[in-house]
Amino acid sequence: MAFHLEWDFPGAGEQVTEDVVVCNVMAGGYGGWVAEESGRVLGRYTLHGTIAVGGMATVHFGRLHGPIGFSRTVAIKRLHPHYARDPEFVAMFLDEARLTARIWHPNVVPTLDVVSTEGELFVVMEFVHGESLSRLIKAEGSKARRIPPSVVAAILSGTLQGLHAAHEACDEQGQPLSLVHRDVSPQNVLVGVDGVARVLDFGIAKATGRLRTTQHGELKGKLAYMAPEQLLGEETTRQVDIYAASVCLWEALTGRRLFSGNNEGDVLNQVLLGDIPPPGEYVPGLGRTVDDVVLRGLSRDPCNRFRTALEMAIALDEAMDRVASPPQVSAWLRGVVGAEMDERRRTVVEIERQTSQPSTAEALREILPPPESMPPEEPIPSSTGGSVASMRPAEVKTFDAASWLRTALSMSQKNLKTRKAFLALAAWLVFVVTLLVLVVTTWQRPSARAATSKGEPSQPMFNDQREATVFASAPAESVQAPAPPTIASAPAPQLVVDEVVAAIPGPSEIPKASPVVPAAKKSCEPPYYIDKAGIKRFRRECF
């Protein structure tokens, strides 16, 4: 049986194994090598300082340079050069990028691109400003403190939801990938400054259709987080990740290592045969329901664990009295590692300053043609037959009612509803104008208009009763036609709308007309006469 083991942070009083020392030596060596490569251009990406170093690859800061001044900070994972020539490690590296690209979930660090240049491979991932769960456990342990249970519940609930998304991932044809992470540990859980936990590093994940498959009897992962069936070489399912997430939950609640020893044999014996105490023994007031959730996830029988990671996340949320919100997790994170995160943020700002892109105005000048090369604008036709561009300023400001009406009618013809509305509005306007004209001509006639009968005094036309009485009592000989008034002497009526409205009496103010007895018609021979001005006038009594 071949072991491919990775050790995480050593606990208090634990002996550092040879594997950890080798890893630290490798990290120091690659750290100097990375410094020399900072600023290297990889197509549209630029390689910068180191974020983390592992046994298989190094993670760098990177900058994406797009067109029109677009840029973005990313994380670039680089396979170590001596592994880049090994087909087995290259296949694992490509599998990680391909599988992660099929997972779309806020609790999984997404893969954005893969770059192959000069015999090396680079995987471009989203840069997440945060800290790993292992560093947070160590930071709180150095101060003799533990992570608050509400924060632990929020972090592990997000981790389980991300794992569930990976377990349910499908390929391009919609077929399940049957993906299993196989390396869930506090080092691979990243808590962002936004308070959201994310799963990363699917480098040794097991899935259908991998370019490189695990050989029989070969173990991959961290021994202290491997499920018993995984250690025994049995088939690995999603229950393996649920078990590893339960170990992370136990350690985050208690601030202690669950399985530890002086060598791999001691750890292996504890995982397979050792007793697992409930976390409530180390965390007073945690609650029995939380212990039940943790111990069920740590069951050595896969059938007794939760069926899915999502089911465990829901059970954990229900068991906890309170689950911290992302803003609360973010505030706690800044209180624990705020100084380290600020230093990393200053590094990112410095990288962005060194690789600043041209301004928006400069980018627009690059993509837009110069003004002299732009085609002239087409003139806008006007109602006079010319164009607006050739008209004088005074002519442009002139309002052409006929042109406006034609334009409105042509626009209304494009839409039946608009045309009907326009016609209704026009009819309503005509009706209102006609009504106003009738009111003005009927109720506000000048009192100085001369009577049409000879010798009859000036009277309003509406006073029919008075006119009938006058004509009935006055003899025909006494009726004299008055002299026609001159234009200068006739007063011009000054009418406004307010006066017209005020002049209209209400229904209660109009007097009831008494019955009028028509006067006997007189002789109307002839029915007209010629006044002194030589104007032909008709006699009123003849009609």
Give me the active site residues, please. Answer: 183
Which residues face 48 on adjacent strands?
none
Question: Which amino acid, residue 457?
Answer: P
Helix extents (H) in 78-211: 81-84, 87-100, 133-142, 149-167
CB 296 within 8 A of CB 50: no
Q: State the Cα angle at 306 between 274 and 232, rounded to 5°.
A: 45
Q: In what order do the strands lie in the sheet with 120-126?
A: 41-42, 45-53, 57-65, 71-79, 120-126, 111-117
CA-nearest of 357, 358, 355, 363 to 46 is 355
Q: DSSP of 24-92, one letter per residue?
A: HHHHHHHHHHHHHHTT-EETTEEEEEEEEE-SSEEEEEEEEE-GGG-EEEEEEEEE-HHHHT-HHHHHH
CA 397 from chain centre, in angstroms, equals 43
What is the spatial distance between Cα 407 and Cα 414, in angstroms, rounded to a whole number? 11
SS3 307: coil
Peptide bond into 228 cis (omega under 30): no
What is the spatial distance between Cα 326 and Cα 319, in angstroms, rounded to a whole number? 19
CA-nearest of 418, 516, 505, 523 to 466 is 516
Interior/surface letters 39-52, b for 16+ CB within 10 angstroms, e for the rest: ebebeebbbbbbbe
* Residue 439: burial class (beta carbons within 10 Å; 0-12, 13-18, 19+): middle
Q: In what order do the strands lie in the sheet with 189-192?
A: 130-132, 189-192, 197-199
Q: For the chain, what percentages of helix, strand and coil (3-state, to nearest 5) are there?
A: 45, 15, 40
